[in-house]
């Protein structure tokens, strides 16, 4: 909406279980856009200096952490500034990671998805 200068939009959700649809009208919000662009700019700088982003301030209490696939990795890395190379070493050495992450079999890697999306 921001880059195309669109003032009104619709956010369309489809339920995973029953494919029911819900739509929400969205109005362009310049303050929200400003916050999002600042967060993206900060992330870009962290990528450029090879720095692992810090955890969210309310780590594990934030709703995003409840649905995040990286919560175990986040726990291992802790919340100190570090670069990606050190973070990867920390993950490799973590007993929790070694126990849970077994090498996948070649047949599992090459396996076709059973339910393909028809579009
Ligand atoms: S668990 Fe996920 S969402 Fe929460 S701080 Fe870590 S990376 Fe971010």
Give the Cα separation of 110 and 117 in Å (integer).
18
What are the boundaries of each domain within the chain? 1-49, 51-104
Q: How far is the CA of 61 from the centre of ligand 1 (A)?
A: 10
The Cα 63–Cα 76 span in angstroms is 20
Note the pLDDT of residue 103.
58
List all residues 6 or more positions away from 73 whose beta carbon is below 8 Å from its beta carbon.
91, 97
Ligand 1 atom showing the smallest separation from residue 64 Cα: 3
Nearest CA to ligand 1 atom 4: 65
Which pLDDT score, from 0 to 100, does residue 100 have? 59
Closest atom of ligand 1 to CA, residue 71: 1
Q: Average pLDDT in the 3-24 region?
A: 95
How remote is the CA of residue 87 from the centroid of ligand 1, in Å?
15
Closest residue to atom 1 of ligand 1, CA basis: 71
More confident: 78 or 101: 78
Residue 8 belongs to what H/E stretch? strand 8-14
65 CA distance to ligand 1 middle (Å): 5
When pLDDT is cut at 50, 70 and 90, the band that residue 102 belongs to is low
What residues contact 55, with CB distance under 8 A and at least 6 apart? 74, 79
Note the pLDDT tens digit of each residue in 28-85: 999 999 999 999 999 999 999 999 988 999 998 999 999 999 888 888 888 888 899 9
pTM exceeds 0.75 = no
CA distance 24 to 10: 5
pLDDT for the residue 21? 97
The predicted pLDDT at position 106 comes to: 57
Distance CA 106, CA 90 (A): 26
Ligand 1 interacting residues, C-beta cut-off 6 A: 55-56, 59, 62, 64-65, 68, 70-71, 74
Q: Residue 52 CB: number of other CB atoms within 10 A? A: 20
């Amino acid at each position: 909406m921001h880059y195309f200068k669109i003032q009104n939009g619709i956010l369309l959700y489809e339920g995973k279980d029953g494919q029911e649809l819900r739509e929400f009208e969205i109005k362009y919000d310049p303050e929200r856009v400003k916050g999002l662009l600042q967060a993206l700019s900060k992330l870009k700088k962290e990528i450029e200096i090879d720095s692992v982003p810090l955890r969210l301030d309310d780590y594990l209490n934030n709703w995003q952490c409840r649905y995040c696939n990286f919560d175990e990795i986040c726990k291992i890395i802790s919340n100190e500034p570090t670069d990606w190379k050190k973070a990867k070493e920390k993950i490799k050495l973590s007993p929790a990671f070694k126990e849970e992450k077994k090498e996948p079999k070649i047949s599992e890697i090459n396996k076709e998805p059973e339910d393909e999306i028809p579009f």
